[in-house]
Amino acid sequence: MNARPPGEVRAAGAVLWRDTSRGVRVAVVHRPQYDDWSLPKGKLDRDETVPAAAVRELREETGFSATLGRRLSTVRYSVDAGRKTVEYFSAAAGEGTFEANAEVDELRWLSPAEAEKALTYRRDAAVLRAFMALPAPLSTVLLVRHAKAGKRGEWTGDDDLRPLSSAGARQAEAVRKLAPLFGVDRVFSAPPLRCVQTAAGTAEDLGTEVGIEPSLSETGYWPDADRGLSRLRAIVTAGGTPLIASQGGVIPDLLSSLAARAGITLPAGKRGTVPCKKGSVWVLSFHAGSSNGGPLLAAADYYPTALPAPAPARL
């Protein structure tokens, strides 16, 4: 985990939403300690990831389980302990019942317009407006670059059989812990063993098999990139929340194609490329349903690592 700046307080929260017969409703909570109305949030525990903290805090403050979606914004402000940084997500409410507790004594489900008026702080209202900028129901895909597998030059066998290193195994375990926070329910992988091993823990937790996708490997993608892109779109169209493990020679081009069609600009990493570190995760949000050309990318969030680390860069 990277060192945090002195005096920095890290926190995570969300716009917790649900569909009702009257449309989307979002949760706002009253904190008796401050006598304010705010979005649910809370501090990170030691060695906790930002997404894990968001889901935990939502459960503790509201009583509801939550499935994370796109990242909304980063809010920074001064507190007695120094500087506070809060990462906010969109989060779909699951099962649960609110009970008053030491931190929150009242919860209201309001329309976004009503919630904006009720919120005490302008910074929370700005987060809510970021939520309102896109439809609440979006399809989510986790696109993962395989974890570390040692140096290629030191492996004498078939490169497709090169296994994860000990560091790669730790990265894969972190992906395994991240996946349920976003509601992953299907698992796919390019054929190389290091890709399959990166996704295998998630599949095991779901009691399913890893679907092998040759068109999303480096050897399968480049002879016909359009076929690989079409396969990704088909996986999205099939529904649910898939996790796809692929390779560094595929992911940047896939993302660039999706972003170009959607009119989204991706930031450049080193040497002008789309960032794609080993063990990294792209959380992709697509508009629900599909157009004539297939699902349309709505947002993309890059997590350089699934291990406890600074929050993801917003794209």
* pLDDT tens profile 231-245: 999 999 999 999 999
DSSP labels, 148-160: ----GGG--S-GG
**Residue 244 identity:** I
> Which H/E stretch holds residue 260?
helix 251-262
**Residue burial 154-184, b: 16+ Cβ < 10 Å; e: rest:** eeeeeeeebebbeebbbbbebbbbbbbbbbb
Weakest-pLDDT range from 11-25, 32-46, 178-192, 296-310: 296-310
**Residues 273, 173 share a domain:** yes
pLDDT of residue 8: 84
Query: What pLDDT score does 150 carry?
Result: 82
Q: Is there a domain that residue 172 lies in? A: yes
- Confidence band (pLDDT; 50, 70, 90) for 80? confident
Give the strand pairing for 8-20 and 82-96.
Answer: parallel
Instruction: Please give the full DSSP string across 192-248, using - where no structure is assigned.
Output: SHHHHHHHHHHHHHHT-PPEE-GGGSHHHHGGGHHHHHHHHHHHHHT-S-EEEEE-T
> Could you tell me if residue 1 is inside a domain?
no
Looking at 105, 132, 159, the residue that finishes a domain is 132
Separation of alpha carbons 310 and 48, rounded Å: 10
- Residue 102 forms part of a structural domain: yes
Query: Do 192 and 85 sit in the same domain of this protein?
Result: no
Computed on alpha carbons and rounded to an integer, the radius of gyration of the chain in Å comes to 20
120 and 26 part of one domain: yes
Residue 3 lies in a domain: no
Q: Give me the CATH number covering residue 32.
A: 3.90.79.10
Confidence band for 293, pLDDT divided at 50, 70 and 90: low
Check which CATH number belongs to the domain holding 156 and give it. 3.40.50.1240
Q: Give yes or no: residues 288 and 306 share one domain.
A: yes
**Domain boundary residue, one of 98, 132, 166:** 132
Q: 106, 132, 158 — which closes off a domain? A: 132
pLDDT for 289 equals 66
Pair (196, 266) in one structural domain: yes
* Residue 302, SS3 per DSSP: strand
Distance CA 246, CA 248 (A): 7
Comparing 25-29, 108-112, 285-289, which segment has the lowest mean pLDDT? 285-289
> Does position 291 have pLDDT exceeding 80, yes or no?
no
Residues 282 and 232 in one domain: yes
143 and 21, same structural domain? no
Instruction: Specify the number of domains making up the chain.
Output: 2
Structural domain that includes position 43: 8-132
Residues 127 and 183 in one domain: no
Are residues 295 and 200 part of one domain?
Answer: yes
288 occurs within a structural domain:
yes
Is residue 163 included in any domain, yes or no? yes
Task: Please tell me whether residues 154 and 120 are part of one structural domain.
Answer: no
- Based on the fold, state whether residues 127 and 142 are members of the same structural domain: no
Spatial separation of the C-alpha atoms in residues 224 and 169, rounded to whole Å: 31
Residue 2 lies in a domain: no
122 and 258 share one domain:
no
- Does any domain span residue 83? yes
